[in-house]
Amino acid sequence: MSDYEDIRSELDGPVLTIWLQRPQSRNALRRQMLAEIAEALETAYDGGEVRCAIIYGGDKVFAAGADLNEMSELDMIGMLDDPRPGYWKRIAAFPLPLIAAVNGFALGGGCELAMQADIVIAGSNAQFGQPEINLGIIPGAGGSQRLIRAVGKSLASQMVLSGEFIDAETACSAGLVSEVTQPELTLERARQLAHTIAAKSPLALRQAKQALQQAFEAALASGLEFERKAFVMLAGSEDRREGIDAFLEKRRPEFKGK
Amino acid sequence: MTFTTIEFVREDGLARLTLNRPDKLNSFNAVMHEEVREAMKTVQRDDSIRCLLISGNGRGFCAGQDLSDRNVAPDAEVPDLGESLEQKYNPLIRGIAKLEKPVICAVNGVAAGAGANIALACDIVIAAESAKFIQSFCNIGLVPDSGGTWTLPRLVGRARALGMALLGERISARQAEQWGLIWKCVADQELASTAEQMARHLATQPTLGLGLIKRAMLASSDNSLDQQLDLERDLQRLAGRSEDYREGVGAFMEKREPEFKGR
């Protein structure tokens, strides 16, 4: 369904899988790849069928950072005009659940891409790192901000300041990753989870994702207020009626997104 | 790469890595580390290799670190042995443990210090009757390395592990077999043929499945029963998709010998 160059996008019922397809450059996140990821998410969302999306880099590497050739061409003015932050925002704006299925290296921009996802499933061979400091720079797509929220101050600081990587188990116990699986099964597990999620009400999924994000964005009081408003709003949905009816009638609910 | 301290031969799916510094009881110096690492890399990358047989030339298997390779003169700088483990021994032990192919070790004579623990890191250890296992570290003020403090208590229990590590006594191959430290003790003259036969056999077996067995066993030491059951489910899922599984079942139904491809 896609004429993308850097990615392959595949819709299986309500689940969109985006494969990063530049293994020869270890899926380095050049501008085009980011643009295509954003494009694929938006296209699928606009198509109306998708309920959950997965980003997968393959069995050996998720994404090993930005494309350094591309980056080295930019001076400060060039960086100011760089379209990349816009792509990152579009990816973050995907309103439905996004899962990163990570095998191998998720470094720099790759780690930041994984952290854009709501859920990270990792193969036991996964390694996460923000090695920008080795190049005399720092993470530029949320690495310092999201990582500290994901793994806490000490570990985030250690990673960002030393450039050292952490393995899948460490990432899991620190909270960056929710589940570690055999590398051969990472995508499969992500898909299984995506299909479970996709069977839920899309209205509720969108509200739930936003509410969860509020925990990072807002103070507790306004986050709680957001949650309550969304909770009340969903009371008016047909899906809520269907969900409760189905539960009482001991059958599977069929959500319509209304 | 031509090797000077080891022999490395590949043939019919079997790789033979033979430690070859017999005048030094095959003890490790920097060159041997380098060469073993190179050979291990090949074993790991080459899918046509389906079993690794490690042995030693001469009268011993391996006496561990060549102490003359380290300068401990009173005026010499205090060495960082941790660095030596980090760079040399630990990658070897991790390499053997994570290699998803069976590794057999034939212990022909003395296996001391790191030499003993490298042998014990292998999947199946066969020892000649005259072989000895010695945790010699305590005699020079060191700690068992190359995984010894992990492997020993798991193989023989805490009491025997501590006894071996604190006393540094020679444990005979017979004793080692009785304790479950090794798979088998055989007569000296039968060691080579027993190991060879087993290695040839394993090189024709369902390598992917054997590799997953290793993965499961390795993980079991950290896992609860529940975690291990989950892992078995996942690994069986993978194994069940292998060509060799189909071949194995097919051959069984058709009452013929299976021809495994290792995938």
Query: What is the average pLDDT across B204-215?
Result: 97
Strands (E) in chain A, as ranges, are 7-12, 15-20, 52-56, 61-64, 98-102, 105-107, 119-123, 127-129, 166-167, 179-181
Q: What is the pLDDT of residue A222?
A: 93
The predicted-structure confidence for B137-152, as pLDDT tens digits, reads as follows 999 999 999 999 999 9
Single pTM value for the model = 0.86
- Rounded to the nearest angstrom, the minimum Cα separation between A177 and chain B is 17
Task: Report whether pLDDT(B90) > 70.
Answer: yes
Residues of chain A positioned with their CB less than 8 A from the CB of B237: 185
Contact A131, A159 (CB under 8 A): no
Q: What is the pLDDT of residue B73?
A: 72
Read off the amino acid at residue B235: L
Q: What is the pLDDT of residue B71?
A: 63
What is the Cα–Cα distance from A256 to B80, expressed in whole angstroms?
A: 66
- Rounded to the nearest angstrom, the minimum Cα separation between A158 and chain B is 21
At residue A127, what are phi and psi to the nearest 5 degrees?
-135, 135
Does the annotation count A109 as an active-site position? yes
Residues of chain A positioned with their CB less than 8 A from the CB of B234: 181-182, 185
What is the Cα–Cα distance from A75 to B14, expressed in whole angstroms?
A: 55
Interface check A238 vs B, CB under 8 A: no
- Annotated domain spans of chain A: 7-182
Sheet holding A61-64, edge to edge: A61-64, A105-107, A127-129, A166-167
Interface check A69 vs B, CB under 8 A: no
At residue A216, what are phi and psi to the nearest 5 degrees?
-90, -30
Interface check A170 vs B, CB under 8 A: no
Give the fold, CATH level 3, of A7-182: 2-enoyl-CoA Hydratase; Chain A, domain 1 (3.90.226)
Q: What is the pLDDT of residue B68?
A: 82
Among residues B135, B128, B121, B92, which one has the least CA distance to residue B107? B128
Interface of A with B in 193-212 (CB under 8 A): none
Contact B69, B30 (CB under 8 A): yes
Which residues have C-beta within 8 Å of that of residue B142, sequence separation ≥ 6?
B81
Compute mean pLDDT per 10 residues along chain A, 258 residues long, and list them.
Answer: 84 96 92 95 94 96 86 83 91 96 96 97 97 92 92 96 96 96 96 96 94 90 93 92 93 90
Using CA coordinates, name the residue in chain A closest to B235: A182
Q: What is the pLDDT of residue B230?
A: 95
Residues of B near A (Cβ–Cβ under 8 Å) read 215, 231, 234-235, 237-238
Mutate to test the interface with A, among B45, B234, B241 (most CBs of A within 10 A): B234
Does the annotation count A112 as an active-site position? yes
Does the annotation count A36 as an active-site position? no
Residues of chain B positioned with their CB less than 8 A from the CB of A181: 234
- Rounded to the nearest angstrom, the minimum Cα separation between B208 and chain A is 12
The predicted-structure confidence for B22-77, as pLDDT tens digits, reads as follows 999 999 999 999 999 999 999 999 999 999 999 999 999 999 998 887 766 777 78
Q: Do B237 and A181 touch (CB under 8 A)?
A: no
Q: What is the pLDDT of residue A131?
A: 95
